[in-house]
Amino acid sequence: MCDTCGCQGSNSNDRKLLEINRSLLEANTALAKKNRHHMEMMGAVGINLISSPGAGKTTLLEKTADMAGKNLDFAVIEGDIETERDAERIRAKGIPAVQLTTGGACHLDARLVHKGIHLIEKETATGGKKILFIENVGNLVCPAAFDLGEHKRVVMVSVPEGSDKPAKYPRAFMGSDLFIITKIDLLPYFDFSIEEAIACARRINPHIEVMSLSAKTGEGMEEWLFYLSNLLENEAGG
């Protein structure tokens, strides 16, 4: 017992749990480096998409397929607790997609993504530069802690969720390269301040890029497509 406050303090079980968690994260980070190297050998640039459920990750990818056509070569690793529904939606657009189901886990880890990379490699043509999207499980907490080997991490918040999400989930923004505000066609119907959301995100991460778009109407999508094209040029060796 702590003499100062009377609490029980940490015990050996707490220390063991901390050591196990640290070991798991270290192992994940080591495998993430291998994933990154593997993607680079494929000529792929990995993008980890994280958001709360319903922010529009799959819809954004569908719209990307519709607007980019054959001008952008990409594939998708889908992460969900159960079902193949999102992968089926992507395949319906003619885009290679594999589904990873976590069976209850609230995030993807490097081990699962390693499996996904091998599966997607079998379904895509060799050679050429491509984007490999990793659509993470819907969650702004756990996915922020796990490096998957991605080259860029994109965090998404939809207008119905509220502009306070960066303040509530700072770690998700701290480790992200791009912040996308989605469903801006709903701005007239919700009390969402784009200025507040951006200011809060940049207090957490001054270097984060920001864009706003609507996959439904197409507003802002050209900026997103330009971002992807530019990313391929810069990250995949020009």
In this prediction, residue 23 carries a pLDDT of: 62
Residues 6+ apart with CB under 8 A from 222: none
Q: What is the DSSP string of 205-230?
A: -TT-EEEE--TTT-TTHHHHHHHHHH
In this prediction, residue 37 carries a pLDDT of: 97
In this prediction, residue 8 carries a pLDDT of: 46
**Residue matched to tokens 């998404």:** 156
Dist. CA 229–CA 221, nearest whole Å: 12
Model pTM?
0.89
Dist. CA 201–CA 81, nearest whole Å: 28
In this prediction, residue 16 carries a pLDDT of: 60
In this prediction, residue 88 carries a pLDDT of: 97
For the domain spanning 12-235, the CATH number is 3.40.50.300
Residues 6+ apart with CB under 8 A from 31: 110, 111, 114, 149
Number of H-type helices and E-type strands within the chain: 8, 7
The answer to whether 120 and 96 are in contact (CB under 8 A) is yes
State pLDDT tens for residues 161-207.
Answer: 999 999 999 999 999 999 999 999 999 999 999 999 999 999 999 99
Ranking 54-68, 150-164, 223-237 by mean pLDDT, the lowest is: 223-237
| More confidently predicted of 49 and 25 | 49
Dist. CA 6–CA 191, nearest whole Å: 45
Q: CA triplet 120, 117, 82: central angle to 5 degrees? A: 80
pLDDT category of residue 7 using cuts at 50, 70 and 90: very low
The answer to whether 133 and 73 are in contact (CB under 8 A) is no
Domain boundaries, the chain: 12-235
The answer to whether 73 and 179 are in contact (CB under 8 A) is no
* Neighbour order of strands in the sheet with 74-80: 97-101, 74-80, 130-135, 44-51, 152-158, 178-182, 209-212
